[in-house]
Amino acid sequence: MAKADILGESLWDAYSNKVTTLMNNPQHQGEIFEADAQGRGNKLIVADFGAESCGDAVRLYWEIDPANDKIINSKFKSFGCGTAIASSDVMTELCIGKTVQEAVKITNIDVELALRDTPDVPAVPPQKMHCSVMAYDVIKKAAGLYLGVDSESFEEEIIVCECARVSLGTLKEVIKLNDLKSVEEITDYTKAGGFCKSCIKPGGHEAREWYLVDILSDTRKEMDEEKMKAAADASAAGGANFETMTLVQQIKAVDAVIDDSVRQFLIMDGGNMEIIDIKKNDGYIDIYIRYLGSCDGCSSSSTGTLYAIESTLKEKLSKNIRVLPI
């Protein structure tokens, strides 16, 4: 669990422990020399990519066995912030052992997820989310150099924001993973819409096929439908099914119940809540929550309100649930 989700003390606390460790102690930083790769009978690929959105740059080294196109070693040099170093290090780790054809499928979302301490807590603050986008592009650059094709030929995604090189799939995934509710939040997390602004809504200096306002609206509708389905599935299957769900399924089911039966009452009083984590503990399923707004610090948050939340979840999902405020 990221420190900021418990303490909320500073921007630094919004970084995962893995990110802060790799900032100062990257495992794959360095270079591979042509003579060494040739001496082992392998081919060396060196690809450079610079991100116009932030001025960072990365150089990626691949040592490839030409007999099977497998990346047997990989290094990087990063010219930028600590988050770019951490992202580049994980990107390099993900490449090793894959074929070039497999590596080209690695996305910036894969990199960011690999940097998380826990699956459902973002690894970096919103304004640093874009650092993993460089990995998405430099991998394709390296693959294009090795295979002798244009790196854009690997682009299967629709690019919504040309300035920051952000795809439709990335936008939808980031909205869902981080429960984004505004275009401003999308820009904070991805840099999409932060430059020429043509992709935000119709009326910019050039027409676009996709706009952030529509993507946000459509994705939020998908999220609401998924929550309703999760609640319906949980209700139909009974509480016992909740205990066999994956963590992501459990979080969606809890969110759906809270949205349906609890949240509106919290909001009426100027408050809210969010799920931080779910863990099994000695026969119980402990659901860690954080109160927001006026609920934070309210005397009822540890008595009546807490009892109402826990009772509702026990009734609709599992009798073994315990709700623990953080």
What average pLDDT does the segment 33-45 reach? 97
Within the chain, all domains assigned CATH 3.30.300.130 are found at: 238-325
Fold classified for 3-155: Sufe protein. Chain: A (3.90.1010)
Q: What is the mean pLDDT of the chain?
A: 85
Residue among 157, 173, 317 nearest 250 (CA): 317
CA angle (227 as vertex; 180, 119 as ends), nearest 5: 60
**How far is residue 123 from each of residues 29, 59, 223, measured CA to CA in Å?**
20, 23, 22
Q: Give pLDDT tens digits for 188-241.
A: 888 888 877 889 999 877 788 899 999 999 999 998 888 777 666 655 555 447
Q: What is the pLDDT of residue 4?
A: 38
Residue 137 pLDDT level (bands cut at 50, 70, 90): confident
**How far is residue 51 from each of residues 96, 107, 137, 208, measured CA to CA in Å?**
23, 15, 9, 22
Residue 51 pLDDT level (bands cut at 50, 70, 90): low
Q: What is the pLDDT of residue 2?
A: 38
| 295 in catalytic set | no
Residue 27 has pLDDT above 90, yes or no: yes
Residue 6 has pLDDT above 60, yes or no: no
Residue among 259, 316, 250 nearest 288 (CA): 250
Q: What is the pLDDT of residue 121?
A: 83
In this predicted model, which residue has the larger pLDDT, 323 or 13? 323
Q: What is the pLDDT of residue 78?
A: 87
Percent of the chain with pLDDT over 70: 87
Within the chain, all domains assigned CATH 3.90.1010.10 are found at: 3-155
Let me know if domain 238-325 sits in CATH 3.40.50.10440.
no
User: Which residue of the set 54, 95, 161, 199 is catalytic?
Assistant: 54
Q: Which residues are paired to 116 by β-bridges?
A: none
Residue 307 pLDDT level (bands cut at 50, 70, 90): very high
Contacting residues for 44 by C-beta, under 8 A, at least 6 apart = 32, 33, 34, 37, 38, 61, 62, 63, 64
User: Which residue of the set 95, 131, 161, 295 is catalytic?
Assistant: 131
Q: Which residues are paired to 71 by β-bridges?
A: 64
Residue 177 has pLDDT above 70, yes or no: yes
Q: What is the pLDDT of residue 136?
A: 75
Q: 132-155 burial by CB neighbour count: b if 16+ within 10 A, else e? A: bbbbbbbbbbbbbbbbeeebeebe
Q: What is the pLDDT of residue 178?
A: 85
Q: By mean pLDDT, which of 10-14, 69-73, 74-78, 318-322 is the weakest?
A: 10-14
What average pLDDT does the segment 64-71 reach? 97
Q: Which residues are paired to 286 by β-bridges?
A: 279, 322
Note whether 17 and 117 are within 8 A (CB): yes
| 161 in catalytic set | no
Q: What is the pLDDT of residue 234?
A: 59
Contacting residues for 246 by C-beta, under 8 A, at least 6 apart = none
Q: In angstroms, rounded to a whole number, what is the distance separating the alpha carbons of residues 115 and 129?
A: 11
Q: What is the pLDDT of residue 35?
A: 96
